[in-house]
A and B are shown apart, each in its own frame.
Chain A
Amino acid sequence: MIGFEGYIEATKSVQEKVPPMKVALLSIAFGLLAFLPLCGQSSQFMDRLSSPSALSCEDAAYLVLSASGGSESTLALDKALSLAQEKKWLSAKASAERPISLAAFSHLAMSAFGLSGGLMYSLAPGPRYAFRELVYRGVVVGRHDPDEKLDGPSALRILNAVAALKGVDL
């Protein structure tokens, strides 16, 4: 499971665009609340997002689609995964409860925010080159396994850094 520490540097690398750590996390989480449909599901979702357990593909899809704005921002939780798969931002093999990997989340976040990648990402967009792109851009720092699972706070950090690269404040 990826921890908080690895992303401290990531936040630093885009520090001119990102507020200090705690404030950033809180502001993202509360910012997201504004997009999420007001129902019991959203409070459960926020609980899962702040917990240290592995983030599921369904929650990851909902988080990223909600944060990236557009028509997806008012999406229901149970529709997010299928929409992300339809757009080929997540693998068709991803199931709702399955924990999302760091590489898969990188691809999901880059795709949703329209972040361009390198030559190989342009030719064959997918988790492999998305993960490399985020390592290159300093979003993912340190020794990381692209297949490792990530928790909600770590996912928020990545999302925040990706959004900052696109000039979007969450």
Chain B
Amino acid sequence: MKKIILLLCLLSAFLPLAALDLGLGIDSLSQISGIPGDIPVGFTESLRLSAFLSAMSGRRFSFRLAGFGDYGYSSFAQEANLLGGNLESLELFLLLSPEAAPQRIALKMGRIPGEAGAKALGLSTLDGLDLLLSVAQTDIRLVAGYTGLLRASDAAILLSSDDFLASGDPSIFFAPPRLYYGLDLRFVELLGSADLGLGFSGQADLRQGALDPTNSQYLRLLLSGPLGRGLSYDLSGLLEFIQHSAQAEPSGIAAAASAGIQWYDPARLGSKLNLDIDWASGSGGGLRRYAPIGTSDAGEAYAIPFASMLRLKAAYLLAPTRDFTAALGLTAFMRAGEDTPSDPEYLSTATGVWLGEEGLVSLGWSVLSDLRLNLTAAAFLPAWGITYPETAPLRWKAALGLRLDI
């Protein structure tokens, strides 16, 4: 309570000097999809009203408070009353160094976006603080945060058996309580024109009376830079050290890696071509199944966790004007470990590695600067007869999104 009062006193000292802005946003997302299950084709609709209050005083201070309420309908769930809401952001930004100083020290605290290591490990939001020190050609970022006040469906933390149990209980609103900590270093143009990044992150399980308290630590190495005119690359490698307390879940090491090449030519209708290879270890060869802190899906229509998998992705994007974007993507998925994907349709007797391929088309059109339409369609073709039965259905989805900023 004292901390809240202190924070309010701090804010009230700044707010009279700051420019206040209040805004609203309306989002609508209509989606029709075909997924394996009892109801092969279904419709979902989500309406969201979001609001923000922001205050800014020069470039040294800003405050942002944002939240939303939403209403959803899903014919899959046969429920039409899915009211929800969440605090999106409660961010206080302070530039601690003088504006003109060559070094920069900036602090963000509150409900803040996950950056660097947190982002790479699937935490898009954190309740905590983020301290950035930029000195010469080096960025040093320290992050610490708590996950237990995030919405469970947003954080998608599935590291231990307790997490899996909790994820199946719709009455649990909050994500598993874990402490995230991270140190990220970025050396700009350290190796010629290449940037080098190093990161150490981890999470500690804070759940009381857990069946399987699980801690994990992560080491990351990144290298990125230009290759030539309009060409750039990025490489990353990650090691995960995970410690389960339960005997049934052995502790061990997992790994993930990715490599990508990007080509961009603004003169050719803003063309961008991205080629990426992503790998996340599965069980076998002395490694465990890779588990980031926040789980992410392998694809758009192929919505299973990205783990024990090799993914090859090609995406071509066009942005001929600021108002219009188009993207075409093709992705191939392969199994990368002895364990089977978390997919009930998967053929348990399969010995092949090819899982299937996915195509994606996406169009974005800003009708006006504050009114935007998005159309996305994706289809996943399972590897029939190899890792999926011949009867496995095609998975697909088409979504129309609309956003109005007020």
Give residues in A with beta carbon < 8 Å to B. 117-122, 128-129, 132-133, 136-138, 143, 145-148
Contacts and interface: CB of A to CB of B under 8 A. Distances in A.
A152 to B, nearest CB: 19
Contacts of B6: none
A47 B321 CA distance: 38
Nearest to A148: B58
B322 interface: yes
Given A120-B405, A137-B322, A138-B322, A147 B19 contact: yes
Interface residues of B, number: 17
B369 A118 contact: yes
Given A120-B406, A132-B405, 6 more contacts: A119-B370, A132-B369, A136-B322, A136-B366, A136-B370, A145-B56
A118 B58 contact: no
Contacts of A138: 322
A119 B26 CA distance: 13
B1 interface: no
B371 A119 contact: yes
B4 interface: no
Contacts of A119: 368, 370-371, 404
Interface of B: 18-19, 21, 56-59, 62, 322, 366, 368-371, 404-406
A158 B404 CA distance: 26
Most chain B beta-carbon contacts within 10 A, residue among A120, A132, A133, A148: A120
A133 B370 CA distance: 8
Contacts of A132: 369-370, 405
Given A137-B322, A145-B57, A120 B370 contact: yes
Nearest to B57: A145
Provide the main secondary structure of the chain B interface: strand
12 contacts: A118-B368, A119-B370, A120-B405, A121-B369, A121-B370, A128-B21, A132-B405, A136-B322, A136-B370, A137-B369, A145-B58, A148-B19
3 closest Cβ pairs, A-B complex: A118-B370, A147-B19, A118-B369
A146 B21 contact: yes
Contacts of B369: 117-118, 121, 132-133, 136-137
Contacts of B370: 118-121, 129, 132, 136
Nearest to B368: A118
A119 B403 CA distance: 12
B322 A118 contact: no
B184 to A, nearest CB: 21
Contacts of A122: 368
A148 B21 CA distance: 13
Contacts of B56: 143, 145, 147
Nearest to B371: A119
Nearest to B367: A119
Contacts of B58: 145, 148
A148 B371 CA distance: 27
Contacts of A137: 322, 369
Nearest to B24: A120
Contacts of B57: 145
B338 to A, nearest CB: 49
Which residue, of B57, B58, B322, B404, has the highest number of chain A Cβ atoms within 10 A?
B58
Nearest to A124: B406
Nearest to A134: B369
Nearest to B267: A16
A118 B59 contact: no
A137 B406 CA distance: 17
Nearest to B19: A147
Contacts of A128: 21
Contacts of B405: 118, 120, 132
B19 A145 contact: yes
A148 B17 CA distance: 11
A145 B59 CA distance: 8
A146 B19 contact: yes
A11 to B, nearest CB: 15
Contacts of A117: 368-369
A138 B405 CA distance: 17
Contacts of A133: 369
Contacts of A145: 18-19, 56-59
A28 B269 CA distance: 29
Contacts of A148: 19, 58
Contacts of B62: 143
